[in-house]
Amino acid sequence: QRDYLAGVDVPTGQSAFKLNHRELPDGAAIKPVWEPSRWAGPVRLAQACWLLGNRRSGEHCLDWLEDWVANNPPYSGWHWTSALESGMRLVAFTWIDALLTAFEGREPGDLAKRLVKLRADILPAHVWFTWRHRSFGSSANNHLLGELCGLALANARWPGLAKLGPGLAKLGPLLERETLRQFHHDGGNFEQALNYQFFAWEFCWEARQALAAADALPPPRCDRIDARLGQAARFFREVQVPAAPWDYGDSDDAFVVPLFADESHAAAEWWHWIAGNAAESPFLHLMRGAFDSCLKSEEPKTTQGGWRIFPDTGIAVNALGHWKARLDFSPLGAGSMAAHGHLDAQHLSLWLMGCAMVIDPGTGDYHGNPELRNWLASRDAHNGPCPGEVSLAKREGPFLWSAAHPKPLQSLDGGVMETEIRTKGGGLLSRTVKPLVNGPEGWLVSDSFERRLGQAGEFVVRWQFAPGCEVERIGQRAFRVMSGSATMRVDIGVGWALAELWRPSGDETAGQLDGIVSPRFVKTEHAPYLKLTAKPGGNTDHKTKFTAEARRV
């Protein structure tokens, strides 16, 4: 029981029902304690045993599980404080059992004998705990989905477990309900967090496959689940950029089953599997076959100006030449708590020639670093117009917001995407994004803030660039941003009262929030940004133009 990132041991033999996993001692966080016990490592060893014919890998896999069982008795310690975690172990163990059983084939040997005991040690306690302590209320998001997934796989493989929890007949309707709840009609995840798109989809698909194999999904129900999962996969393909992926909302790199070749590129490999690129997602293609043979879905429709709009989720994307733009007009998050949401409404992300240029700053951490978490989820860290005098939501806890802003309004006029947030008291935050197709291709962004109708107020826009970008000022109101093979010019309107360019010096401390971004969960670095300030009373040309430039040799 150790936080492997902080290097802190948190041993305890106390009843899990008396532990608070949200408050660990000595700066430890629960996620790095839980992660190794999701058994992705043993699944990898079982895969190696089955795929490579390596018996020793199978033996190591069972060594790991036997040690875990000996040191984590049921309902004691940190690993028994979450039904999601026990559900994920059920998923992993079902895969392990299937892979090692397939390896030994018709002549069961030592692995089979050890598996018999492990089934008795693992399955009853995990099934009972997962069902008895399943998530409800505000926690019934991807957690409940993961719990149902674990129960579905275990019950499909060992039907006798139904006496300890739900039977297959009950799990089918529950899976359908949660799948349709987890993803909007347009395919976006209702948590407003892009990595959860991948995480939740995996749960749904694993459970769907298990129940279908057990004849526990009637065709109409299966068709409804498949239709929504098809839309969800297409949504991810449209809004993510595999060459330089940057998520929005909470994104913690979680996955369900390690079916990737490289964990650091798991989401990118999933993108390539959906797109049909077998060479870039070889293990997924081996284990699941081609995406189109699994699911069918309609291609998103392109509207005027090249926009593809997902109105239920609140995301619009546009692929213009070598550009990719992603504009957010979403609500804060799911439900009244908006647990995984960020104040990223009206945020614009830009990629050029596959390079991330203007980014969402990422997630950072959950419990281990509250200051970092709060900053990266804040309005100030995103590039939507940000007035200091208006609060768009109040952070009440790590996964709790209150007084959230309404969902932004969105319209499309002649290819120009318009978004508005109407605040309490009559305020109005506005952003328009116009694709530039004549001359250098790019984007013209116009921002404004009215405290009340017709009364302009002060606001800030922070254009956060990606790590590795080199930024230089080339004029009073012009900047050049270079990353890899991409060069972007930034021109700002005369209405901006102040333009501050910040570039990391290399001497920044880990706790310095200014310029900090998180390319992966619990990984941070500093990157340049351009902070623009608009003040009332002057010129109202608060535009920012991004155009592509030819790279100079």
63-120 pLDDT tens trace: 999 999 999 999 999 999 999 999 999 999 999 999 999 999 988 899 999 999 999 9
Q: What is the pLDDT of residues 165-221, one digit of tens each?
A: 999 999 999 999 999 999 999 999 999 999 999 999 999 999 999 999 999 999 999
Question: Any bridge partners for residue 319, and if so which?
Answer: 324
Same domain, yes or no: 295 and 322: no
User: Does residue 479 register a pLDDT over 90?
Assistant: yes
If you search the block for the tokens 């390896």, which residue do you land on? 103
pLDDT for the residue 139? 63
Instruction: Supply the mean pLDDT for the chain.
Output: 95
For the segment 369-386, the average pLDDT, to the nearest whole number, is 96
Same domain, yes or no: 329 and 371: yes
pLDDT for the residue 29? 86
**Contact call for residues 332 and 401 (beta carbons, < 8 A):** yes
Same domain, yes or no: 310 and 257: no
Same domain, yes or no: 316 and 187: no
Strands 478-483 and 470-475: antiparallel
User: Does residue 435 register a pLDDT over 90?
Assistant: yes
Same domain, yes or no: 351 and 425: yes
If you search the block for the tokens 């708590």, which residue do you land on? 337
**Contact call for residues 232 and 187 (beta carbons, < 8 A):** yes
Same domain, yes or no: 241 and 128: no
Domain closes at, from 117, 133, 149? 133
CB count within 10 Å of CB 329 equals: 26
Q: What is the pTM of this model?
A: 0.94
Domain closes at, from 268, 300, 332? 300
Helices 142-157 and 168-182 pack at an angle, to 10 degrees, of 150
How far apart CA 533 and CA 538 sit, in angstroms, is 12
Q: State the Cα angle at 129 between 260 and 397, rounded to 5°.
A: 75
Residue-range definition of the domain harbouring residue 295? 140-300
- Write the DSSP string, 523-545: EEEE--EEEEEE-TTS----EEE
Same domain, yes or no: 368 and 505: yes
Q: What is the pLDDT of residues 244-299, one digit of tens each?
A: 999 999 988 899 999 999 999 999 999 999 999 999 999 999 999 999 888 877 77
Percentage of residues in the chain with pLDDT exceeding 90? 84
> Could you give the number of structural domains in the chain?
3
For residue 469, the domain's CATH number is 2.70.98.70
- Write the DSSP string, 310-342: ETTTTEEEEEETTEEEEEE---SSSTTTTTT--
pLDDT for the residue 25? 83
Same domain, yes or no: 479 and 335: yes
CB count within 10 Å of CB 113 equals: 10
Q: What amino acid is encoded at 454 in this protein?
A: G
Domain closes at, from 242, 269, 300? 300
Same domain, yes or no: 268 and 227: yes
Same domain, yes or no: 60 and 187: no
Cα 484 versus chain centre, distance: 25
pLDDT for the residue 453? 85
